[in-house]
Each structure stands twice: as C-alpha cells, then as structure tokens.
Amino acid sequence: MAQDDQFKKLIAHAKEYGYIFQSSEIYDGLSAVYDYGQYGVELKNNIKKYWWDAMVKMNENIVGIDTAIFMHPEIWNASGHTSAFNDPLIDNKDSKKRYRADELIEDHIQKYQSKIEKEIKKGRKKFGDDFEEKQFLETNPNVLRNKVKIDEIQSRLVKALEADDLNEIKQIIIDCEIADPVSGSKNWTDVRQFNLMFETQLGSTADGASKIYLRPETAQGIFVNYLNVQKTGRMKLPFGIAQIGKAFRNEIVARQFIFRMREFEQMEMQFFVKPGTEKEWFEYWKEMRIKWHKAMGLPEEKYRFHKHDKLAHYANAAYDIEFEFPFGFKELEGIHSRTDFDLSQHQKFSGKKLQYFDHESGESFVPYVVETSIGLDRTFLSILSACLKEEEVKPARLAGGKDNGETDTRVVLQIPPALAPIKLAVLPLVKKDGLPEKAREIMDELKFDFICQYDEKDSIGRRYRRQDAIGTPCCITIDHKTLEDNKVTIRNRDTMEQERVQISELAKIVDDKVSMKKLLKKIF
Ligand code: ATP
C-alpha cells in the first residue's frame, strides 16, 4: 500500500475507533490541535506510566515533579526562547502554502538518501551473499555522486542556519530547484523568522496586565526547580528530575496529524552531573533510551539514531532517536548534553545561586545537564502506525468445534499488550440462559486488576473483530459449558488461538500477558 494511503487509513481508524478526534470538530476543527478519545486516553496514560516507571520507579536517583504551564516571563529570556526559538518560514506565492524552509531542504536531501538506499538494494540483489555494504558505499559511483550532493547541501544549510542567513537559505532552495510539494511551483517569497511561542496576558488590563507565554517545553520548569528538589530531596549528583506535561508551539506547518501539534505533551528528564562526566552520562542515556523504545517490541529497524550536525552553541553532543513514520524517518526523541548553560543562565537572570556543593572535593559548581526529551504524542503515533495491520485470516473454530464466524480479513491493532487500552473483553456467547450473569460475575472480579469491556451484541466473530480493531489482547467467551465446568475460552489477539481455561486462573493468565513489569524487565 502506498505510504499516503496507509497514513490516511491510520487517521481514519484512529477516529472511527475512538482514539483521536480533531479538536472542536463540530465547528470544523482547529488546525493541528487534537483530542484523545476513550481508547486514546488509555493508551496515552499507559505510555506515560511506562516512561514514568522506567525513569522514576526504576532509578533511585530520579524523582518526578509537575510544574505550572505559566512561568515568569523572564525565564524565556534566560533560556533564549524569546530571541531564538524561531523557525525560518517561506511561502509559495502560487499555492499560498507555507513551509519551514529548513524542512524543504532536508526533504530534498532525503531524496538523495533514498537514491543511495535504492542503489544498496540493487547491489545486494546483484552480489547476493558476497555483498559488502561498506565497500559498496565507498566505491559505487552513483552512491558517491549522491553523497557529494548531500554533503554539499547539508554543509550550506548548517552554515546558513548557524549564521542566521535567511537569504542564503532561500538561495539553497533556488539552487536546488526545490518546488512546492503540493503545486510544483517554484515561485517563493523571501525566508522570514517566526517565533513559535504563544503569548497571553496575566491579570486584567486595569491591573496592569503583563505578557506571559504558554511554555514551549517542560524542561525550564525542571531547571528553575533544580535547587528546590536538590535540597528538599537531599539529592546527590548524579541525579535526575523527570516531568510529563503539556507544551505549546505555534508551529508553521502542521500537516502531519499528531506528529506536529500546536498543543502537545512532552516527557522530559534532566540529569544533573559533575562537569567532566557528561559525555559518559550522555552515552549511558543514549543506550537506555533506545532500549526503552525497543523493549516495546515494534520492529527494530524502524528506529535509528541521527547525530545533530548543527549543535546549539551551548550543547556538546546531541542525538535524535528517529522513527520510521508512514511519512519517513523523523525525530521521536532528543538526547542532548546541554553543559551548564540553562542553570548558569537562570543564575544570571534571577540573581540566585544555583550551585551544588560537593562534600568530597569541598567545591561548589553549577552542574552539567544531560537531557532526554520525548514527545508523548509522537510515541503514540509511532505505536499506532507500526501496530495497525490488515490481515488475511483462516476461519477459526471455537474450542467446542463450532465455527466462530470470523471473516477472512481483519484489521488488528497489535499494540504491545502492556500498553493496550482495554486488556480484556468479556463476551457471553448468547444473551440468555444465565450466560450474561456469569460473564458479569467474572468481570466484576477482574475489573479490579484490568480495564475490561463487556460486550454481548452481535455474533462472537463480529465482537472479536471489534476488539481486534481497538487492540484488546485477550477476549474471553462464556458459553453453556462454562456454567458446568467453570471454564472459559480465552482468545489471543495476535495468534487468534483459543484455549479453555479455569476461571480461577484468568487473573494470572491475563496479568502474565499484559504486565508492565515484563517490559521493564527487558530494560533493567
Ligand atoms: P522538530 O525538529 O520535529 O520540530 P524539535 O527538535 O523542535 O522537533 P524538541 O524541542 O527537541 O523538538 O522537543 C522534544 C520532543 O518533543 C521532540 O522529539 C518531539 O517528540 C516532541 N515535539 C516537539 N515539537 C512537537 C510538536 N509540535 N508536536 C508534537 N510533538 C512535538
């Protein structure tokens, strides 16, 4: 299926099955703002728990906080956001569409990268087992030609961004003959800088209202509380502070569903270390974070690291973890070594000392910081896009030998069981003969441990399909025999295999399948 169609299907599925709705839909929606539906909120909460547990529960030296969205406006002067949190924007005069100029160029570079990947595929096909990728990349003339192009454009872009040279950015677009992806037109305006922060007023005008911002990241709430947490928690270096919360950015281009939203959630952790040890900790967190992603069990080849070519002036190392979304590899998480920039800036702007006293050396210093910063909504999208499948299925049979009425194709969301919104569906085979009562009795016990859903409407096959479509890992069917032998049929979402088990064993069987502990054990 073409990538575009696949992405459209995903968006339609997310809406049809109560995962994501356009915000204010009955008023024709609000651009790049989304609401999470009844299943979406459960998946989101489970991702948050998985992240929080991996940070706060599993690490003695990491604690969590929850800071306000509104902050003192001076904070954004200290952090550099008021002067430098800009994106270069460009408009196409014919289509009237607006783009991020740097992204147009990066997408253009990606085209050369795709050509290299095609050459590798051809090479692999031609040389079979004798194929040596490294040697091929160093010698194949087509690869080398494309590489030169990439390096040339990349280095021009990095230089232009570093120098804030907007004319040069436009010149690259002209020289590369980049056309509007929608209309094909090359009729561009000049490039302008655009600040992404939302402004609002604190207090009424009569009181002398002051301009404040909706925070564009959660990290600053951590930095300005560094000393509060360090002192009250008696934290010793190295230690971390984690936070999950909303962030707001007035994004120029917002056309990729929940990938780029104007209101979104971040999960950030700032790890405070002794100066000089930051490179070591940077490597440590890089490894830990990729492990966290891979433990979920989505295809490993969908993740890759991307080293930043253009480092912020205060950073001494930065990598992204990229994920292959339906529209290509894009940033999912950033891991940054930020030196003492943020704390030093807040020290300077607030006039308050933000230092750490090291009892061993008897010295005071501003700690260095290694940050891990991941988008909750992008993680959600990565899971949904890798887990939505359309499958051919053979008609299956119930344990008693009867055809269960399953049709021959199904749409299934193979979400990692620990993160699935509904863990267990409780299905009486028919709506009579005491089966609904028995089903309710089982559910009333299991709902203390798992989010369960009761469903007695339609054929059992259709009910399985509904549960597949929302990603429920386990379904149990209560039939007439259940009343005699206290056993139910449990069906596995992914294999569709069915097994007859004792009701008394259900809690253990389901827990074994959906426990978060299993995910965490893969990391720790
Ligand atoms: P991008 O280059 O895609 O704009 P960024 O480098 O500005 O992202 P960071 O400032 O490093 O992003 O933010 C950390 C994380 O927050 C990102 O890796 C991403 O997962 C998430 N994020 C950032 N902007 C958005 C957005 N507009 N919508 C959803 N998630 C976002």
Q: In this predicted model, what pLDDT tens digit does every residue of 381-411 receive, in sequence order?
A: 999 999 999 998 776 544 444 555 555 789 9
Q: Residues 335-378: pLDDT tens digits?
A: 999 999 999 999 999 999 999 999 988 999 999 999 999 999 99
Instruction: Summarize the chain as % helix, strand, coil (round to 5).
Output: 45, 25, 30
114 in a structural domain? yes
In the beta sheet, which residues pair with residue 389? 412
Q: Tell me the backbone φ, ψ of residue 461, rounded to 5 degrees.
A: -60, -45
DSSP character string of 400-428:
TS-B----SEEEEE---GGG-S--EEEEE
Residue 423 has pLDDT above 70, yes or no: yes
Q: What percent of the chain has pLDDT over 70?
A: 96
Q: Strand (E) positions, 72-203?
A: 86-91, 98-100, 192-195, 199-202
- How confident is the model over 461-486, as a mean pLDDT? 96
For residue 121, the CA-to-ligand 1 centroid distance in Å is 32
CA-CA distance, 244 to 400, in Å (whole number)?
48
402 in a structural domain? no
pLDDT at 406: 56
Q: Is any atom of ligand 1 closer than 6 Å to the C-beta of 152?
A: no
Q: Is any atom of ligand 1 closer than 6 Å to the C-beta of 245?
A: no
pLDDT at 398: 46
Q: Is any atom of ligand 1 closer than 6 Å to the C-beta of 249?
A: yes
Contacts of 516 (CB under 8 A, 6+ apart): 46, 49, 50, 53, 418
Whether residue 180 sits in one domain with residue 91: yes
Whether residue 365 sits in one domain with residue 436: no
Q: Strand (E) positions, 250-309?
A: 263-273, 303-307
Residue 491 has pLDDT above 60, yes or no: yes
What order do you get walking across the sheet with 98-100 strand by strand? Answer: 98-100, 86-91, 192-195
Whether residue 228 sits in one domain with residue 120: no
Whether residue 379 sits in one domain with residue 265: yes
Of 138, 173, 192, the position where a domain reaches its end is: 192
410 in a structural domain? no
Residue 333 has pLDDT above 50, yes or no: yes
**Ligand 1 mutation pick, 243, 266, 286, max ligand atoms within 8 A of CB:** 266
Residue 316 has pLDDT above 70, yes or no: yes
Q: Check if the beta carbon of residue 246 is closer than 8 Å to that of residue 93.
A: no
For residue 176, the CA-to-ligand 1 centroid distance in Å is 27
Measured between alpha carbons, how far is residue 460 from residues 12, 405, 476, 491 in Å? 25, 7, 10, 11
Whether residue 109 sits in one domain with residue 50: no
pTM of the model as a whole: 0.88
Whether residue 118 sits in one domain with residue 28: no
- How confident is the model over 309-323, as a mean pLDDT? 88
Average pLDDT, the chain: 93
- How confident is the model over 144-160, as a mean pLDDT? 92
Q: Is any atom of ligand 1 closer than 6 Å to the C-beta of 417?
A: no
Which protein residue has the closest C-alpha to ligand 1 atom 25? 260
pLDDT at 209: 65
pLDDT at 490: 97
CATH number of the domain at 183, please. Answer: 3.30.40.230
Helix (H) / strand (E) containing 64: strand 62-64
For residue 456, the CA-to-ligand 1 centroid distance in Å is 43
77 in a structural domain? no
38 in a structural domain? yes
pLDDT at 182: 87
Q: Residues 25-80: pLDDT tens digits?
A: 999 999 999 999 999 999 999 999 999 999 999 999 999 999 999 999 999 999 99
**Ligand 1 mutation pick, 311, 378, 382, max ligand atoms within 8 A of CB:** 378
Q: Residues 262-294: pLDDT tens digits?
A: 999 999 999 999 999 999 999 999 999 999 999
CA-CA distance, 151 to 139, in Å (whole number)?
16
DSSP 3-state assignment of 339? coil
CA-CA distance, 27 to 23, in Å (whole number)?
9
For residue 78, the CA-to-ligand 1 centroid distance in Å is 20
Number of domains in the chain: 3
Measured between alpha carbons, how far is residue 360 from residues 234, 279, 363, 381 in Å? 15, 21, 8, 46
Of 192, 208, 227, the position where a domain reaches its end is: 192
Which protein residue has the closest C-alpha to ligand 1 atom 12? 334
What ranges in 129-225 are assigned the alpha helix state H?
133-139, 141-162, 166-175, 219-223
342 in a structural domain? yes
Q: Is any atom of ligand 1 closer than 6 Å to the C-beta of 377?
A: yes
pLDDT at 399: 46
Of 148, 174, 192, the position where a domain reaches its end is: 192
The pair of structure tokens assigned to 12 is: 């339609």
Whether residue 247 sits in one domain with residue 336: yes
Q: Is any atom of ligand 1 closer than 6 Å to the C-beta of 513?
A: no
- How confident is the model over 115-128, as a mean pLDDT? 89
Whether residue 290 sits in one domain with residue 273: yes
Contacts of 451 (CB under 8 A, 6+ apart): 42, 421, 422, 423, 424
For residue 263, the CA-to-ligand 1 centroid distance in Å is 11
For residue 249, the CA-to-ligand 1 centroid distance in Å is 9
Whether residue 147 sits in one domain with residue 55: no
Whether omega for the bond prior to residue 238 falls within 30 degrees of 0, making it cis, is yes
397 in a structural domain? no
pLDDT at 203: 81
Q: Is any atom of ligand 1 closer than 6 Å to the C-beta of 263?
A: no
Which protein residue has the closest C-alpha to ligand 1 atom 24? 260
Q: Is any atom of ligand 1 closer than 6 Å to the C-beta of 416?
A: no
- Residue 268 CA: nearest ligand 1 atom is 14
**Which residue range is the domain that position 171 belongs to?**
86-192
For residue 375, the CA-to-ligand 1 centroid distance in Å is 6
CATH number of the domain at 314, please. Answer: 3.30.930.10
The structure tokens 């194949």 sit at 140
For residue 54, the CA-to-ligand 1 centroid distance in Å is 21
The pair of structure tokens assigned to 524 is: 């720790």
Whether residue 219 sits in one domain with residue 317: yes
Whether residue 434 sits in one domain with residue 373: no
CATH number of the domain at 511, please. Answer: 3.40.50.800
Whether residue 271 sits in one domain with residue 348: yes
92 in a structural domain? yes
